[in-house]
């Protein structure tokens, strides 16, 4: 049996759903963009000022047009991925301010971003790449150029599906324009970007502009609040889920009304606010409970989900980081979340990306993934033939049955130490040094996946015309 | 009600009791300023100590602060505005393009709890918006919060705009937010940086002492 972890009873899901519909109908959601209000008005929703009261019939109508799963295209079609439908896809971090490598924390640079894209392109763990893994400093003519460069460089150095970036109309438009240059005439979902409601129950102008750009372009949207229970949503997890669910459904409604069939993901990155410091707490067990509930609600609505990650508030890749990251990534996998941003590398509550932890978490994800597969019990795995053949006191190392199964049955770590004790080894730094070797090794063996000369020329011309400068590509 | 009992109600966040107590004291002719200084503020001081020790948490502190302000609200109309005790006026807002306001709200709440008067401008305030607000409210301290690396630049633009408007001399500028550092504060010519809400109160207290000295 495969252990799918669910924390809500079917009738509790119904209760949350009903409470959400009542919230949408009676409290409403604020949309800070005239165009969005128009969409709802046209469909007969009551709109007062910027507050939209969404009747349940409209919610049902929107849910009926959302795809249950969709294909996120990669420029290399072999690397395209299904989002939804039972698989879990890992995505790298997003939005980090700092990087940490070899113990030192510093502001991320454009060079770090390129290195990350290269390391991730060669990872068997991360299915997607790009977007704003880190937001580097460095001199760009404008922030719009900075964001466009992140997207262009992601495509340039990686042939995995790309994550998007959203900070208003222009940034999102650039994201779509650059993808179009890469994909040419190939139809489909070329990029997956996140829109965050501003909890509780607000969609800001900037995020709505981005939502319109993506929906009109038929591109993938993750709608994901990041409320902090007690501060921007109720202190109870159930209350937080009601507020979040209302926000997500409201966003999904808008995306579907703009363009029915827009690929959307039911996302949630909410957690608690620490009662003493009010800091966001990602290592909290409450986050993992919310992850499980999010995946379950998404299944209830027949939508792909986004939640979780290998998350921690620790400032270094230490024991706290290990404990917290394992809890959240295990919940993520055991709950069958469809796509997982921040699936490795995060330190300091989303602020820092650790190169070593990016690799360590590949193992955490691997372990959790194996856990999720559970124990297969059938005539072949019961191994009765081998047991009777070998009898008491034998070993199974050279049995045919072993050869047939051991590689699938066991997950093998890249880093975990399963050797005997070595006196000469410094165990304080051992695993981190191994992780460092892995990412440095990948940089050395990296080969840039070929882009057609035609696409390259189109991308460079676009960048030059749009920003009057050459993109930084080394 | 005795002052000690009133202090206790402030600590416990009993808003109704504090309002009743305040009304009662006023009816008995207790001097309004004494109600504030002996009935309300000492309660909040105890809260400050308990919070620092980890014996009280943010939601409880907010209830205590609400109870105290409730009481002050009743007394205020009876005393001259200048007599209302305040450690100084602080103007707060998040900078242009930045909607992250949880940290700013916490800093605001802590400052109010510690006796500062805070004018909260909200989110997404442009340099011009800050300049106008400084002109209007004449605060002792301007506090700016930013959580995005891309909006941090607006802090230095605001400081330059204040200089151009001739409003910089008498004003102390404090900045904060997750990606902000003390080095950045020095670089852009801010007077202070705070890593968390507790230090923000200390920074403001230092500013007030400095300008009093
Ligand atoms: C004046 O004097 C002072 C003195 C001290 C001061 C001070 C002022 N201000 C703060 N302090 C200090 O005291 C406070 C108390 O101790 C502290 O305040 P803090 O604010 O640090 O702490 C709070 C109590 C709790 N912390 C927080 O509230 C912030 C947590 C994180 C996770 C966060 C949240 C919650 C949100 N976000 Co956003 N968000 C992140 C944050 C990651 C992080 N760890 O910081 C960060 C900052 N966000 C980011 C991003 C990218 C974004 N966010 C966005 C949106 C949101 C939400 C709406 C979902 C939500 C905000 C809700 C709200 N009402 O504020 C978008 C932008 C919105 C905008 N235009 O502002 C968006 C662009 C998301 C997107 N779709 O791409 C990243 C920054 C990227 C960068 N390099 O600049 C980010 C690091 C997360 C990440 N890795 O993606 C101290 O800093």
Give B148 Cα–ligand 1 centroid separation in angstroms. Answer: 7
pLDDT computed for residue A3 by the predictor: 82
* Interface mutation target, options B95, B102, B153, chain A, most CBs of A under 10 Å: B102
Nearest Cα residue in chain A from B152 = A137
Q: Give the Cβ contact number of residue B16 at 10 Å.
A: 10
Tokens of A284: 């909290």
Residue among B90, B98, B103 to mutate when testing ligand 1 (max atoms within 8 A of CB): B103
pLDDT computed for residue A354 by the predictor: 98
The minimum-distance atom of ligand 1 relative to the CA of A134 is 82
Instruction: Tell me the shortest Cα–Cα distance from B106 to chain A, in angstroms.
Output: 8
pLDDT computed for residue B213 by the predictor: 63
Alpha carbon of A169 to those of A19, A137, A154, B53: distances in Å? 33, 22, 20, 47
Size of interface A-B (CB pairs under 8 A): 35
Flag whether residue A137 sits within 8 Å of chain B, measured between CB atoms: yes
Please say whether the beta carbons of B64 and B11 come within 8 A.
Answer: yes
Say if residue A6's pLDDT is above 90. Answer: yes
CB contact under 8 A, A230 and B59: yes
Average pLDDT over residues A224-247: 98
Instruction: Tell me the shortest Cα–Cα distance from A175 to chain B, in angstroms.
Output: 18
Average pLDDT over residues A276-289: 96
User: Which residues have any ligand 1 atom within 6 Å of their CB?
Assistant: A 94-97, 135, 166-167, 194, 196, 198, 206, 226, 232, 277-280, 349-351; B 97-104, 106-107, 143-145, 147-150, 174-178, 194, 196-197, 200
Say if residue A188's pLDDT is above 80. Answer: yes
Give B11 Cα–ligand 1 centroid separation in angstroms. Answer: 31
**Distance linking the first and last C-alpha atoms of chain B:** 38
Residue A403's pLDDT band (cuts 50, 70, 90): very high
CB contact under 8 A, B150 and A146: yes
Half-sphere exposure of A105 (CA within 13 A, CB side): 16
Range in A39-43, A134-138, A192-196 with the lowest mean pLDDT: A134-138
- Predicted confidence (pLDDT) per residue in A91-100, tens digit: 999 999 999 9
Residue among B147, B184, B202 to mutate when testing ligand 1 (max atoms within 8 A of CB): B147
Tokens of A33: 């963009």
Q: How far apart are CA A150 and CA A164, in angstroms?
A: 9
- Domains along chain B? 3-83 (1.10.1240.10), 89-212 (3.40.50.280)
Size of chain A in residues: 474
Residue A2's pLDDT band (cuts 50, 70, 90): confident
Q: How far apart are CA A83 and CA A69, in angstroms?
A: 5
- Predicted confidence (pLDDT) per residue in B151-165, tens digit: 999 999 999 999 999
3-state SS, one letter per residue, for chain A: CCCCCCCCCHHHHHHHHHHHHHHHHHCCEEECCHHHHHHHHHCCCEEECCEEECCHHHHHHHHHHCCCCEEECCCCHHHCEEECCCCCEECCCCCECEEEECCEEEECCHHHHHHHHHHHHCCCCECCECCCCECCCCCCCCHHHHHHHHHHHHHHHCCCCEECCCCCHHHHHHHHHHHHHHHCCCCCECEEEEECCECCCEECHHHHHHHHHHHHCCCEEEECCCCEECCCECCCHHHHHHHHHHHHHHHHHHHHHHCCCCCEEEECCCEEECCCCCCEECCCHHHHHHHHHHHHHHHHCCCCEECCCCCCCCCCCCHHHHHHHHHHHHHHHHCCCCEECCCCCEECCCCEEEHHHHHHHHHHHHHHHHHHHCCCCCHHHHCHHHHHHHCCCCCCCCCHHHHHHHHHHCCCCCCCCCCCCCCCCCCCCHHHHHHHHHHHHHHHHCCCCCCCHHHHHHHHHHHHHHHCCCCCCC
The minimum-distance atom of ligand 1 relative to the CA of B106 is 15
Instruction: Tell me the shortest Cα–Cα distance from A99 to chain B, in angstroms.
Output: 12
- Domains along chain A? 70-373 (3.20.20.480), 379-409 (no CATH)
Q: Please name the residues between 326 and 365 in chain A that touch chain B, using a CB distance below 8 Å.
A: 351
The tokens 């001259």 sit on which residue? B80
Residue B202 — φ and ψ, nearest 5°?
-60, -40
CB contact under 8 A, A97 and B179: yes
Give A354 Cα–ligand 1 centroid separation in angstroms. Answer: 19
Q: How far apart are CA A202 and CA A196, in angstroms?
A: 9
pLDDT computed for residue A430 by the predictor: 96
Output the average pLDDT for chain A: 97
Q: How far apart are CA A227 and CA A459, in angstroms?
A: 37
- Predicted confidence (pLDDT) per residue in B9-42, tens digit: 999 999 999 999 999 999 999 999 999 999 999 9
- Chain A residues whose beta carbon lies within 8 Å of the beta carbon of residue B197: 278
Tokens of B198: 């507790």
Residue A155's pLDDT band (cuts 50, 70, 90): very high
The minimum-distance atom of ligand 1 relative to the CA of A194 is 76
What percent of chain B lies above the pLDDT cut of 70? 100
Please report the ipTM that was assigned to this predicted complex.
0.92
Closest CB to A143 among B150, B178, B196: B150
Q: How far apart are CA A56 and CA A62, in angstroms?
A: 10
Residue B86's pLDDT band (cuts 50, 70, 90): confident
CB contact under 8 A, A277 and B57: no
Residue A138's pLDDT band (cuts 50, 70, 90): confident
Pairing state between β A70-72 and A29-31: unpaired
- Predicted confidence (pLDDT) per residue in B114-140, tens digit: 889 999 999 999 999 999 999 999 999
- pTM over 0.90? The answer is yes
Give B21 Cα–ligand 1 centroid separation in angstroms. Answer: 40
């Amino acid at each position: 049996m495969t252990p799918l972890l669910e924390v809500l009873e079917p009738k509790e899901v119904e209760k949350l759903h009903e409470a959400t519909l009542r919230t949408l109908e009676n409290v409403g959601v604020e949309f800070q963009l005239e165009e969005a209000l128009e969409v709802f008005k046209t469909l007969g929703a009551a709109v007062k000022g910027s507050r939209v009261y969404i009747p349940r019939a409209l919610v049902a109508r929107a849910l009926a047009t959302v795809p249950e799963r969709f294909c996120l295209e990669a420029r290399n079609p072999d690397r395209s991925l299904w989002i939804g439908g039972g698989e879990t896809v890992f995505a790298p971090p997003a939005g980090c301010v700092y990087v940490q490598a070899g113990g030192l924390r510093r502001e991320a640079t454009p060079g770090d971003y390129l290195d990350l894209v290269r390391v991730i392109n060669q990872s068997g763990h991360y299915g997607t790449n790009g977007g704003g893994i880190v937001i580097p400093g460095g001199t760009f003519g404008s922030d719009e150029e900075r964001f466009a460069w992140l997207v262009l460089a992601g495509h340039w150095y990686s042939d995995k599906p790309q994550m998007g970036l959203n900070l208003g109309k222009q940034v999102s438009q650039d994201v779509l324009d650059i993808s179009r240059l890469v994909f040419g005439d190939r139809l489909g979902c070329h990029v997956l970007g996140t829109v965050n409601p501003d909890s509780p129950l607000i969609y800001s102008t900037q995020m709505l502009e981005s939502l319109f750009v993506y929906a009109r372009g038929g591109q993938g949207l993750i709608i994901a609040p990041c409320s902090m229970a007690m501060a921007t949503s109720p202190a109870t997890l159930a209350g937080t889920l009601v507020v979040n669910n209302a926000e997500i459904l409201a966003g999904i409604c808008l995306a579907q009304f703009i363009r029915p069939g827009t690929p959307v993901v039911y996302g949630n990155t909410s957690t608690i606010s620490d009662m003493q410091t009010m800091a966001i707490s990602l290592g909290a067990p409450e986050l993992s409970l919310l992850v499980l509930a999010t995946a379950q609600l998404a299944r209830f609505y027949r939508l792909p989900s986004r939640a979780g990650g290998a998350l921690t508030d620790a400032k270094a890749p230490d024991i706290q980081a290990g404990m917290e990251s394992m809890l959240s990534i295990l919940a993520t996998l055991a709950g069958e979340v469809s796509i997982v941003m921040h699936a490795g590398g995060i330190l300091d509550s989303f602020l820092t990306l650790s190169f070593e932890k990016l690799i360590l978490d590949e193992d955490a994800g691997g372990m959790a993934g194996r856990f999720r597969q559970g124990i297969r019990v059938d005539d072949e795995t019961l191994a009765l033939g081998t047991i009777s053949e070998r009898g008491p006191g034998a070993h199974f190392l050279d049995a045919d049955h072993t050869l047939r199964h051991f590689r699938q049955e066991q997950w093998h770590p890249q880093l975990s130490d399963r050797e005997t004790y070595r006196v000469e080894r410094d165990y304080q730094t051992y695993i981190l040094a191994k992780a460092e070797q892995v990412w440095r090794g990948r940089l050395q063996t990296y080969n840039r996946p070929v882009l057609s000369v035609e696409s390259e020329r189109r991308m460079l011309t676009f960048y030059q015309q749009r920003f009057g400068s050459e993109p930084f590509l080394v | 009600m005795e002052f000690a009992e009133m202090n206790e109600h402030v600590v416990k966040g009993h808003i109704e009791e504090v309002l009743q107590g305040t009304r009662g004291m006023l009816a008995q002719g207790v001097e309004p300023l004494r109600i504030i200084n002996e009935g309300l503020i000492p309660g909040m001081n105890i809260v400050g100590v308990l919070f620092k020790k980890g014996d009280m948490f943010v939601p409880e502190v907010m209830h205590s602060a609400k109870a105290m302000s409730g009481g002050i609200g009743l007394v205020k109309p009876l005393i001259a505005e200048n007599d209302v005790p305040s450690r100084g006026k602080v103007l707060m807002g998040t900078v242009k393009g930045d909607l992250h306001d949880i940290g700013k709200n916490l800093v605001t709440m802590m400052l109010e709890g510690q006796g500062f008067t805070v004018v909260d401008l909200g989110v997404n305030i442009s340099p011009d918006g800050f300049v106008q607000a400084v002109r209007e409210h004449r605060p002792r301290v301007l506090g700016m919060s930013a959580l995005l690396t891309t909006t941090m630049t607006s802090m230095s633009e605001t400081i330059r705009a204040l200089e151009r408007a001739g409003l910089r001399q008498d004003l102390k500028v404090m900045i904060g937010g997750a990606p902000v550092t003390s080095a950045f504060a020095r670089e852009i010519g801010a007077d202070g940086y705070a890593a968390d809400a507790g230090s923000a109160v200390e920074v403001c207290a230092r500013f007030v002492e400095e300008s009093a000295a």
